Amino acid sequence: MLRRCFAIDRDKPTSYLTDMAIRPIFETPDPVLRQISKPVEVFDDALKALIADMFETMYHAPGIGLAAVQVGEPIRLLVMDLQEPEDPEDEKSPPVKEPRVFINPEIVWHSEMEIPYTEGCLSVPDQYAEVMRPEKIRAKWQDADGKGYEEDMDGLLAVCLQHEMDHLEGVLFIDHLSRLKREMVLKKLAKVRKERGLKAA
């Protein structure tokens, strides 16, 4: 079910922000997640409305990233907000909101050096596992108006962008695990789902 809500500033002439919705997130093993997403060619209000819905959906989940295909739209669009604590020394300090949109993203360079990070995914709910990825990347992308950007990234920003870009190729973080680890994660997921089903009954 979609929850409709109003924009914060009702006087703003941004019609696509006035009727944002939390969309259902597709979960593994749904074949929707295995599609190859198509490039975005039209930067219109419908695209901006989808972006607004994706932020609403990501913050509600909650998550730090979301690819359009996860809400059933196989286009090369993803949103992110790492929501890192204001004070890096104090995990409990309020998160800094930094919403970012990446359209038609490409990795133009990556380091040889790979690092591990314990990843999660809203399409593999409540499961976490260590994935190795290049430590540093240089990415280029477009914003919601089609303007181009290029940036060097590392840390969680680089990890999350690579994870979200995998979604555009129909790849999930569990695909990076050994068969044994992947089966363990999927078994745990099935157990959690069964328990939740029993609790809901």
Active-site positions read 164
Q: Which among Zn ion, ligand K1U, none contacts residue 57 (Cβ within 5 to 8 A by kind)?
A: none
Nearer to ligand K1U, 104 or 133 (CB): 133
Query: What is the nearest approach in angstroms of Zn ion to the Cβ of residue 23?
Result: 15
Q: Do residues 81 and 96 make contact, with C-beta atoms less than 8 angstroms apart?
A: no
Residues binding Zn ion (CB under 5 A): 121
Candidates 140, 141, 139, 132; CA nearest to 112 is 132
Query: What is the nearest approach in angstroms of Zn ion to the Cβ of residue 150?
Result: 24
Nearer to ligand K1U, 60 or 194 (CB): 60
> Radius of gyration of the chain from Cα atoms?
17
Residues binding ligand K1U (CB under 6 A): 62-66, 70, 119-123, 159-160, 163-164
Nearer to ligand K1U, 68 or 160 (CB): 160
- The position carrying tokens 């972006």 is 51
Query: What is the nearest approach in angstroms of ligand K1U to the Cβ of residue 124?
Result: 8
